[in-house]
Chains A and B, each alone.
Chain A
Amino acid sequence: MQARLENMGLRAGKTVTRLSSMPSGGPIMVECGGTRLALGRGIAQHVRVREVAQRTESGTDRDE
């Protein structure tokens, strides 16, 4: 799963911006390095992020 997200552009050390989140545990949409992704909440929860100002930056991008 991690490899898949990396190939899709979501990698450790990159800045991710949350563009939108659907209500009641729905998916979220993020932007990272010019790629926009829709991610299920379950997956998104495994992406560790560190807050940077009003932005968010992914620290270690790990699952499970």
Chain B
Amino acid sequence: MADTGIGGDTELATPDDTRVLLVGNPNVGKSVVFSRLTGVGTMCSNYPGTTVEFLEGSMRLAGERVPVIDVPGTYGLSATCPAEDVACRILEDGGVIVNVIDATNLERNLALTLQLRQRPLRMVVALNLWDETRHRGIHIDAERLSELLGVPVVPTSAVAGVGIKDLVGAIEQVAASETPEVLEPGDVWCRLGTIIEEVQQLEHRHHTWRDMLEDITIKPVTGIPFGVLALLAAFAMVRFFGETVIAYVMEPLFETLWRPVVTALSEALGGAGFIHDLLVGSYVLIDGVRTLDFVQSFGLLTTGLFVVFGMVMPYVTAFYFVLGLMEDVGYLPRLALLLDRVMHRLGLHGYAVIPILLAFGCNVPGILATRVLDTRRERFIAATLISVGVPCAALQAMIFALLGPYGIQYVLLVYGILVIVWFVLGTVLRLTSRDFLPEIILEIPSYRRPSFRTLWQKLAMRLRGFFREAVPVVFLGVVVIDLIYMTGAFELIARVAGPMMESLFGLPPETALAIAVGFLRKDVAIGMLAPLDLSAIQLVKSSVMLALTFPCIATYAVMLRELGWLDTLKATGLMLTIALVAGVAMNLAL
């Protein structure tokens, strides 16, 4: 579920003089401008480092289609960290630069603008977040700024779409003209001071809701309780929404509308046979009644559909809604600040909180987001911790569904065990990395009122991603499981792996198969546990084992791409070891 969309690698397209590059500090609205210019949906959130990959789209410019590239945010052109390095390299290959700057923070943003102006580049400045300047009593003379910089300056409010037409006009004009004279090299900071003085006026600011919220959320005394409450509230909201939708919408829909269809189909297919079992699954005994069950029958049209729509989707939707809210308000960087100490125990620093939170939705975007971390070492640790110990929303939804009926304490037990495993693994990773002391340097953006439009767009994009990637694999999983049962391969696996599962982990042999299927998708794998009549404790154990062992195939693919095969192999070794140890420990302790 790579929700960062198009264009994977840093090597992009061919050098091209007509292309348009969106360049600027992190979190200034480049991605919003990008989607305004190209119509391509993008991920936009209120924290630096939302975009970690180049995204390519296209726009009409003077009657021609030209490529537009959304470059990951950068603070400077001196390549002081890998992210900046990447941004610098792309500038070498030509194109028209649209330098997006944050009008509420001219001083820092113009530092990059001036650095850009010392290179022979055709460029336009988009003075974004123009709407915010009004609320904050900031007055900027855009015309004078344009004179001083020697390039067009266009005020924009990208979220509302204001000023985008003018921006396109300015791009057209610049694209057709010669490269402007570069500013002679000199002291950037000195020049910056004079420019600011000339173009910007500040009104006295009143205390606003932002300042109040800021104070409460970052002072340790109030911030830590607030953080705990916020996370608990987020968890409760997801749980409540997910559960309610399942109980009052999805289950009734499936029972009243879909069951008759499935039953009719089953009759038409003669009630048994290969095709029958593949499509509607096999009959099971529920409370002594022989019936088709949406969870246990394992047909494409029963379990396949129900897992996706009836069990997982409501939770995934709720999770992404709540996450989107926190992202857009701008709370995540504060959380990074608060949790910095804790993350140090794991050999990481606070910024890693953001990729890890994303991973609770789906590990794939989480691992992609580890690109915001500076060193390879940190990225390895974060990706390993994510792939081993962060259950994705689909897996969590299934754990809720299966364990929930036995009582919330069992669900909490699963999380508790995962947390312990996490800290053990994190400590091992921290201690094995020599001379390595990560330190947080993170810009904390101001709180913003989330825009309904971006929230909705983001949710829709993520859900589309979920359906596109989850549905085929869930179906594949169901087919594979059916085939394994039908061909008798199951007995073989159970005979080979069974004794080990039994003696080491105290689990029935069938769970070995679930763990193997977990490689495809975790939600289907947990679904396989449903017909096994496991005790609550056995369910806890096998849920933990499923969470810990092999990440699903999509996660593997992204790990290979991001870490290379050697580190992926190392992560796999660690994962197998820790799963084994945890499995045995649980067997002894529970």
Report which A residues bind B (CB closer than 8 A): 1, 3-9, 11, 19-27, 29, 33-43
- Residues of B close to A3: CB separation below 8 A: 76, 78, 80
Distance of A3 Cα from B446 Cα, bound (Å)? 23
Tell me the complex Cα distance, A20–B224, Å.
12
User: Among the listed stretches B16-24, B49-57, B434-442, which one makes contact with chain A, having 4 or more residues with CB under 8 Å of it?
Assistant: B434-442
Among A11, A23, A25, A27, contact of B337 (Cβ-Cβ < 8 Å): A27
CB interface residues, B 424-443, toward A, < 8 Å:
437-443
Contact partner of B340 (CB less than 8 A), chosen from A5, A36, A38, is A38
Q: CB of B223 within 8 A of chain A?
A: yes
Q: B441 touches which one: A24, A25, A34, A40 (CB < 8 A)?
A: A40
Q: A9-B108, A22-B341, A43-B441 are in contact. Are A38 and B333 (CB under 8 A)?
A: yes
Since A4-B76, A40-B340 are in contact, a sample of 14 more A-B pairs with Cβ atoms closer than 8 Å, ordered by chain A residue number, is A5-B441, A7-B78, A20-B223, A20-B337, A25-B341, A33-B107, A34-B104, A35-B105, A35-B108, A38-B340, A38-B350, A38-B441, A40-B438, A41-B439
Which residue of the partner chain A has the closest CB to B443? Answer: A37
CB–CB A34/B107 < 8 A: yes
Q: Is the pair B105, A4 in contact by a Cβ cutoff of 8 Å?
A: no
Contacts of A19 in B (CB 8 A): 214, 218
Determine whether the beta carbon of A27 is less than 8 Å from that of B78: no
Nearest residue in B to A30 (C-beta to C-beta)? Answer: B444
- The residue among A20, A33, A37, A43 with the most chain B CB atoms within 10 A of its own CB is A20
Q: Mark B96-133, 1 if CB is under 8 A from A, else 0.
A: 00000000111110011000000000000000000000
User: Can you list 16 contacts pairing A with B, beta carbon distance less than 8 Å?
Assistant: A3-B78, A4-B76, A7-B78, A7-B80, A19-B214, A20-B219, A20-B220, A22-B337, A26-B340, A36-B445, A37-B443, A37-B444, A38-B337, A38-B440, A38-B444, A40-B340
**B341 in contact with A4 (CB, 8 Å):** no
Q: Residue of A at shortest CB range from B108?
A: A9
Asked if B6 is an interface residue, CB under 8 A from chain A, the answer is no
Known interface pairs A4-B80, A7-B75, A20-B218. Does A27 touch B223 (Cβ–Cβ under 8 Å)?
no
Instruction: Please measure, in the bound complex, the distance between the C-alpha atom of A19 and the C-alpha atom of B211, giving whole angstroms.
Output: 11
Interface contact B219-A27, CB-CB below 8 Å: no
B336 at interface (Cβ–Cβ under 8 A)?
Answer: yes
Taking CB atoms, residues of chain A closer than 8 Å to B541 are: none
Classify the secondary structure of A's interface with B: mixed
Q: Could you tell me which residues of chain B, from 333 to 382, have a CB within 8 Å of some CB in chain A?
A: 333, 336-338, 340-341, 349-350
A35 and B443 form a contact (CB under 8 A): yes
Contacts of B78 in A (CB 8 A): 3-4, 7
Task: Return the chain A residue nearest B333 by Cβ.
Answer: A38
Q: Shortest CB–CB separation between residue A15 and chain B, in angstroms?
A: 12
Bound-complex Cα distance A10 to B40 (A): 35
CA distance A37 to B48 in the complex (A): 11
Contact across chains for A22 and B340 when beta carbons are under 8 A apart:
yes
Provide the residues of chain B in CB contact with A38, threshold 8 Å.
333, 336-337, 340, 350, 440-444
Docked Cα-Cα span, A11 to B219, in Å, equals 24
Contact A40 B189 (CB under 8 A): no
A34 to B104, CA, bound (A): 8
Interface residues in chain B, defined as those with a beta carbon under 8 Å from any beta carbon in chain A:
75-76, 78, 80-81, 104-108, 111-112, 189, 214, 218-220, 223, 333, 336-338, 340-341, 349-350, 437-446
Residue of A nearest to B106 (CB): A34
Which residues from chain A contact B333 at a C-beta distance below 8 Å? 38
Give me the 3 closest cross-chain CB pairs, A-B, nearest first. A40-B439, A7-B76, A9-B108
Contacts known (A1-B80, A7-B76, A35-B443); A27 close to B340, Cβ less than 8 A: yes
A34 and B111 contact, CB distance less than 8 A: no
Residues of B close to A39: CB separation below 8 A: 439-441
> How many Å from the CB of A3 to the closest CB on chain B?
5
Which chain A residue lies CB-closest to B81? A4
Contacts of A35 in B (CB 8 A): 105, 107-108, 443
Whether A29 contacts B337 by the Cβ 8 Å rule is yes
| Closest-CB distance, B159 to chain A (whole angstroms) | 20
Q: How far is the CB of B38 from chain A (nearest CB, A)?
A: 28
Contacts of B338 in A (CB 8 A): 22
Instruction: Find chain B residues with CB under 8 A from A1 CB.
Output: 80
Shortest Cβ distance from A4 into chain B, in angstroms? 4
Most B CB contacts (10 A, CB to CB) among A5, A9, A27 go to A27
Report A43 CB to chain B, min CB distance, Å: 5
A27 B440 Cβ-Cβ under 8 A: yes
B337 proximity list for chain A (CB < 8 A): 20, 22, 27, 29, 38
Instruction: Tell me the complex Cα distance, A8–B189, Å.
Output: 12
B437 touches A42 (CB 8 A): yes
Q: Which residues of B contact A23 (CB under 8 A)?
A: 220, 341
Q: How far is the CA of A27 from the CA of B223 in the complex (A)?
A: 14
For residue A27, which residues in chain B have a CB less than 8 angstroms away from its CB?
A: 337, 340-341, 350, 439-440
A13's nearest neighbour on chain B, judged by CB, is B189
Residue of A nearest to B223 (CB): A20
Cα separation A39 to B442 with both chains bound (whole Å)? 7
Smallest Cβ distance from A54 to chain B, in angstroms? 16
Chain B neighbourhood of A11, CB < 8 A: 189
**B543 shortest CB reach to chain A, Å:** 34
Across the interface, do A26 and B341 meet the contact criterion of CB distance under 8 Å?
Answer: yes
Residues on B with beta carbons closer than 8 Å to the beta carbon of A33: 107-108
Report how far A25 CA is from B107 CA in the complex, Å.
30
Q: In the complex, A11→B190 CA distance in Å?
A: 11
Q: In the complex, which residue of chain B has the Cβ closest to the Cβ of A28?
A: B337
